[in-house]
Structure 1
């Protein structure tokens, strides 16, 4: 029969081996975490640099400098999608859709997006009747082809929904969001 001390020593040895194995696993995970954080910070810096280039004034060539936090990490910068076009600059086709906020008029959008908003303003009320992409395409005078519905209408309606201009209470059916509807 094994002695009690022998059994305790065996269990202590097994527990110590488990702790050492877990410590090795922790070291590996911490090293992987450090690599992932370094990669993430690189992408944050890249996005900020692109934002600076896109925000560059065409007349002066000056760009906004991204501030840093107290720890030296890059401070969050509004992405180009979140900043509204300057009222002095005309909106060009294919421009970025700004996030809706009070006081931002539909004139800040490209013409195709304005047409979708105008059509919805005439056909639905916020929280009321919804309109499908096929109905939007027909209202915009487009042929009901897959390319028009998916490529020209649904993608734009989804982008407007993501930026707060439209609501999609039922998948595939759109209506004006409460904020933009109150401004129209």
Structure 2
């Protein structure tokens, strides 16, 4: 009888091992799936934006690549691209393109962290998935450039550095 129990224990241990391995594979695939979903969302929003611009008569044939430190120089205007400068001390939301300025102003006025879906109606856009995703993309860009913080995924606040710089000394 001891050999039957021993055999069951070995099979149970082997099954546990396979379950643990499958759990690790699922976790890895879940991360990959989420990354691909995010990529698909960004591409979908980009396509919708390009379609909107084309419908408005804006040429979308060639779009300059965005750089982390792109700044307008010489007053030139690039059609179809809005540059968002990296925040530096002394800059205010007026240094941003209008839609980004509106987003930062809404966040600055909010008493607590805000989700993209709560910002969209406050900046005058319809609460459609494409508008929410486009706004989320802008929020992420503002975080990357130091204008906002994202303390919890999906919740945005004014940048602590920017808020500290705006406080009067003393």
- Structure 1 unpaired stretches of 5+: 1-78
1:82-115 CA-partner distances (Å, limit 9, x unpaired): 25445x7388773211111112222221100000
More helix as a share of residues = 2
Distance 2:75 2:113 in 1: 33
2:157 match: secondary structure: strand
Equivalent residue number for residue 169 of structure 1: 151
Give the counterpart of 2:133 among 119, 144, 150.
150
TM-score by length of 2: 0.51
Q: 2:103 aligns with which of 116, 133, 146?
A: 116
Q: Aligned pair in 2 of structure 1 residues 138, 177: CA closer, same or farther (>3 Å)?
A: same
Which residue is 1:103 aligned to? Answer: 90
Q: Pick from 158, 166, 170: which aligns with 1:183?
A: 166
Give the alignment partner of residue 141 of structure 1, picking from 101, 105, 124. 124
Query: Aligned pair 1:132/2:115, yes or no?
Result: yes
CA shift for structure 1 position 80: 4.8
Report the TM-score when normalising by structure 1: 0.48
Query: CA 1:145–1:105 in structure 2 vs 1: closer, same or farther (change >3 Å)?
Result: same
CA distances 1:120-141 after superposition (whole Å, capped 9, x unpaired): 11113xxxx1000111112112
Deviation per CA, 1:41-65, whole angstroms, max 9, x where unpaired? xxxxxxxxxxxxxxxxxxxxxxxxx
Counterpart contact for 2:70–2:83, Cα < 8 Å: no
| RMSD, aligned CA | 2.5
Larger Rg: 1
Where 2:68 maps in the other structure, the secondary structure is: helix
Aligned to 2:13: none
Q: 1:163 to 1:139 in 2, by over 3 A?
A: same
1:91–1:108 Cα contact (<8 Å) kept: no
